[in-house]
Amino acid sequence: MVAASGVRIGWADLPGRIRERVEQIIGGGPVVEARSQSGGFSPGTADRVRTADGRRAFVKAVSSELNVVSTVMARREVRIATLLPRDAPAPRLLGWFEETEDDGNEWVVLVLEDVEGAHPRTPWVESEIDAAAAALTDLAQALTPAPAVDLPRVPDYIADDFACWGWLAERTPADLDPWLARNLGALGAAADRGLAAISEGETLTHCDIRADNLLVRPDGRIIVVDWPWGAVGPAWLDTVLLSINVLVHGGDASRLLTDVDHDSAVGVIAGFTGYFQWWCRQPPPPSLPTVRAFQRFQGDALIPWLRRHITKTV
């Protein structure tokens, strides 16, 4: 298995004035402990910090010098985090700010509630699959209808990604799995159906559900973290994304899909598989050297499921 992990800076790597502004948001004196968290691909900080009087927070800070796209995503996350209701199973945003250095390097910093917990185990275990499914049901209820009218819709982010089967058909890699190569047309058609299905709905979805974006609290409840891809779509989408993560880690996702239209689920999983298969073969983006291996791992792990559910074969 390939972990979802990037190469991060830590709390100590932040400029002093950035650390001071974070400490002002948290209160309670200077930060005396900082623990960097693994998972995810941002090159910025992901630190659980504790101040002198015991207050805790989770600090995410990234600069354009590290990765411009990551600063864009941080701003997106700020927008979504400010809209999440308190009853949603998600961390509260305590504060945020931007700062531009003299050389033009831009910092975007989020200070969030520190959630006590750990990522679900992978391969997934049944109790945590059930807890994650329950959390996503609660999340959909809290975020339907979406809390703002001008939010992006899911296809705004992934329409091009679902077109990857067409790109693979035009420039088929020599190392592409033979079954995929024989069924590029059927896979592309399924992805088109999936795109049409996720164009419906009025729920603010997380749109990036993976084990490393979930935290299991000591009481067994699950909290959904990291919201840069939040977008409006169908209430069932996050559950299908959970099923993808269960599948790529070798688990049984069948019961997660019981209440989801079969063609829609197949289409979404086909769409993301095409995305993984195309992008894993491209050069890695700046400061994100491990992302391509993670995409290949996911794209290859989903092939057996697709072979059972794509009915048209050649």
pLDDT at 42: 75
Which of 90, 112, 134 is the endpoint of a domain? 112
Which of 77, 112, 147 is the endpoint of a domain? 112
**Whether 156 and 98 share a structural domain:** no
**192 vs 275: CA distance, rounded Å:** 13
Asked if residue 217 belongs to a domain, the reply is yes
Where does the pLDDT of residue 312 fall: very low under 50, low under 70, confident under 90, or very high at 90 and above? very low
Q: What's 87's domain CATH number?
A: 3.30.200.20
Do residues 27 and 9 lie in contact, with contact meaning Cβ atoms separated by under 8 Å? no
**Whether 104 and 160 share a structural domain:** no
Query: Which residues touch 70 (CB under 8 Å, ≥6 apart)?
Result: 42, 43, 44, 62, 287
pLDDT at 247: 97
pTM: 0.93
Asked whether residue 74 carries a pLDDT value surpassing 50, the answer given is: yes
Do residues 1 and 249 lie in contact, with contact meaning Cβ atoms separated by under 8 Å? yes
Where does the pLDDT of residue 6 fall: very low under 50, low under 70, confident under 90, or very high at 90 and above? low
**Span 196-252, pLDDT tens digits:** 999 999 999 999 999 999 999 999 999 999 999 999 999 999 999 999 999 999 999
pLDDT at 18: 97
Where does the pLDDT of residue 277 fall: very low under 50, low under 70, confident under 90, or very high at 90 and above? very high
Asked if residue 253 belongs to a domain, the reply is yes
197: domain range?
Answer: 126-309
Where does the pLDDT of residue 289 fall: very low under 50, low under 70, confident under 90, or very high at 90 and above? confident
Mean pLDDT over 274-290 rounds to: 89
Q: Which two tokens stand for residue 186?
A: 């059927």
**Whether 130 and 267 share a structural domain:** yes
**Span 112-160, pLDDT tens digits:** 999 999 999 999 999 999 999 999 999 999 999 999 999 999 999 999 9
**Whether 262 and 132 share a structural domain:** yes
Where does the pLDDT of residue 2 fall: very low under 50, low under 70, confident under 90, or very high at 90 and above? low
**Whether 261 and 130 share a structural domain:** yes
pLDDT at 140: 98
Q: What's 186's domain CATH number?
A: 3.90.1200.10
Residue 201 φ then ψ, to 5°: 95, 155
Mean pLDDT over 65-84 rounds to: 95
pLDDT at 196: 98
Where does the pLDDT of residue 180 fall: very low under 50, low under 70, confident under 90, or very high at 90 and above? very high
- Burial profile 10-48: b = 16 or more Cβ within 10 angstroms, e = fewer: bbeebeeebbebbbeebeeeebeebeebebbbbbbbbbb
Asked whether residue 48 carries a pLDDT value surpassing 80, the answer given is: yes
Dihedral of CA atoms 220, 41, 35, 100 in degrees, nearest 10, equals -130
What is the secondary structure of 1-37 as a DSSP string?
A: ----B-----GGGS-HHHHHHHHHHH-SSSEEEEEE-
Where does the pLDDT of residue 286 fall: very low under 50, low under 70, confident under 90, or very high at 90 and above? confident
Where does the pLDDT of residue 314 fall: very low under 50, low under 70, confident under 90, or very high at 90 and above? very low
What does the mean pLDDT of the chain come to?
Answer: 94
Domain count along the chain: 2
**Whether 249 and 171 share a structural domain:** yes
| End-to-end Cα distance, the chain | 30
Mean pLDDT over 158-168 rounds to: 97
Mean pLDDT over 189-198 rounds to: 98
Asked whether residue 27 carries a pLDDT value surpassing 80, the answer given is: yes
**Whether 132 and 270 share a structural domain:** yes
Which of 8-12, 197-201, 308-312 shows the lowest mean pLDDT across its residues? Answer: 308-312
Angle, CA 306 vertex, CA 305 and CA 312 arms, to 5°: 140
